[in-house]
Copies of this chain bind each other. A is one copy, B any other.
Amino acid sequence: MRISARTQYALRAATELAAAPPGPVPAEKIAVSQNIPRRFLDNILLQLRRAGLIHSQRGPDGGYWLARPAEEITLADVIMVVEGSPEHSRHGGYPGVAGPLADVWSLLREHEETLLTEITLAHITKDASRRPPRR
């Protein structure tokens, strides 16, 4: 299970926003506290904003903040933005005896999706070691 740096950065940045007191948080601050390359982060935040996940404000005392309460933003929400559409990878329909392998990928993908859709940014800032609701 591979998770790109970009995805991790996005999640960490979002978490940072979720944990911050109300009001704009400048990218610079996030970059420093999460140790993320500044320019790269700009890039990512821009993408999150375009997707409507966060809002922004320019100028002095500007920055970013979550568009919705942290309880209503799931990890999957963030991931889908930065990784793009699932793009239905082609492990559907292997030849002959290998056919059933595809079912295994489905199972895995399904579980992953379920989990990431259940966990919100609020869960993370609170404490992710505590499991998410109803499993």
**A residues within 8 Å of B by Cβ?**
1-3, 8, 11-12, 15-16, 18-19, 33-35, 75, 89, 91, 94-98, 100-101, 103-105, 107-109, 111-112, 115-116, 119, 123-125, 127-129
Interface of A is mostly: helix
- C-alpha spacing A33/B8, complex, angstroms: 39
Indicate whether A104 sits within 8 Å of B91 (C-beta atoms), given known contacts A11-B98, A98-B34. Answer: no
- This protein's copies in its complex: 2
Can you name 8 A-B pairs with beta carbons within 8 Å?
A: A11-B98, A11-B101, A12-B98, A33-B96, A97-B125, A100-B123, A100-B127, A111-B115
List the 4 closest pairs (A to B, CB-CB), nearest first: A100-B128, A19-B97, A12-B98, A103-B128
Residue A109 contacts which of B1, B15, B101 (CB distance < 8 angstroms)?
A: B1
